[in-house]
Amino acid sequence: MSKVYITGAGVVSAIGCGKEETLKSLLDGKSGIGRVRYLKTEHTELPVGEVKMSNEELCKALELNPEETHSRTKLLGIIALKEALEEAHISRHAESSEASRIHCEILHSVQDDGITFISGTTVGGMDITERSFMQSGYSKEHLCGATTNAIADYFGIFGRTITPSTACSSALNAIILGCSMIKAGMADMVVAGGTEALTMFHLNGFNSLMILDKEPCRPFDATRAGLNLGEGAAYLVLESAESVKRRGVKPIGAVTGTANRCDAFHQTATSPEGEGATQSMLAALKEAGLRPEEIDYINAHGTATPNNDLTEIAAFRRVFGEQIPPFSSTKGLTGHTTSASGSIETVICLLAMQNGFIPASHNCLTPMDPAAVPVMQTVKNTHLHHVMCNSFGFGGNDSTIIVEN
């Protein structure tokens, strides 16, 4: 087993801007899902999990000119990344001799290429395109990679950028890739995660698949009828043991197992037996050197669609037998943040481990499977050592990581 250490984490979603607000909402069971407020859409009947800040307010918080064009995806990404870098003691600007020393050490540690930044997204700057298409026709921030580069440019410390775009597994795949690069000696430090903003393209696309619920979503409930879309961003600062020691920083967790498998069963649906999910979880356990019974909690993909929740529990049974660990989906609080979901939920897992609780599957009142009941009330004063986090994307692109406290 080879560990990759986490030295910083940042998050923004419908339940809070930053880890402190997010933690309070999780402990209080406070959902951020509600009526559309910021997205310009005719589909006001569809509940969404919007970040509770306008673009103008986000710009003000980041000291950016609101008169200039900024994609919401970029703004959310910067907010989350700023918190992660601050916790890892990485300065955007070398404002002091100590900050300058750390900055130089970081650059030297990655062979003068700068820190690698891996950011998953699918909609990219689509919100700008939607606003400006009829006037200017093309936005330079439209492409997913351009959004990643725009986030990187704000900080000025990244030498290499990578943009995974595998739908709902994008952010978790970013973390998996970052861990793989560190283990392979390609980098000492990688910042990885994802960001996604709500757009008309986004909302209309999922609506055309007829998988959006007009009521607050209910993961793993017998009456579940679809998902609620959300938005947000989260990033982790990942480091090798050598980098942690050299910089003298204290890890807040470690990634011990990662896996990505693709069953390619269907363009959007998961296979009835949960084949890709099963393979992904088993492979992550193997890499972590853990037995199934050593997992203390699973943050499930749990989208509240009839197909996903049924097949995910089928996969749990194949991996864990009849002794499925406590599991829940936090999408009843945040909404499904699609490409950002894997990193947002990884940060939620870190918060759960650090603060000794298991978040509930919000709105699950009548479990769909009496023999596989999710956590229905927040469990407090518990110890979590090994936590599994799942993210499953379209096309059966299924990813799992295991985080250790």
DSSP assigned state of 120:
E
Cβ atoms < 10 Å from Cβ of 108: 11
- Return d(Cα 313, Cα 245) in angstroms, integer: 40
- φ and ψ of 147, to 5 deg: -65, -45
What is the distance of C-alpha 48 from the center of its chain?
Answer: 17
Give the E-state strand segments of 210-310 in sequence order: 229-230, 232-239, 253-262, 297-299
3-state SS assignment for residue 211? coil
The set of catalytic residues is 168, 301, 336
**Helix, strand, coil content of the chain in percent (nearest 5):** 40, 20, 40
DSSP assigned state of 399:
E
Residue with tokens 């689509």: 126
Helices (H), 191-274: 200-208, 241-247
DSSP assigned state of 338:
G
- Return d(Cα 382, Cα 403) in angstroms, integer: 16
- φ and ψ of 254, to 5 deg: -150, 145
Residue of 19, 14, 15 lying closest to 346 (CA atoms) = 19
- Return d(Cα 306, Cα 211) in angstroms, integer: 9
CB 220 within 8 A of CB 374: yes
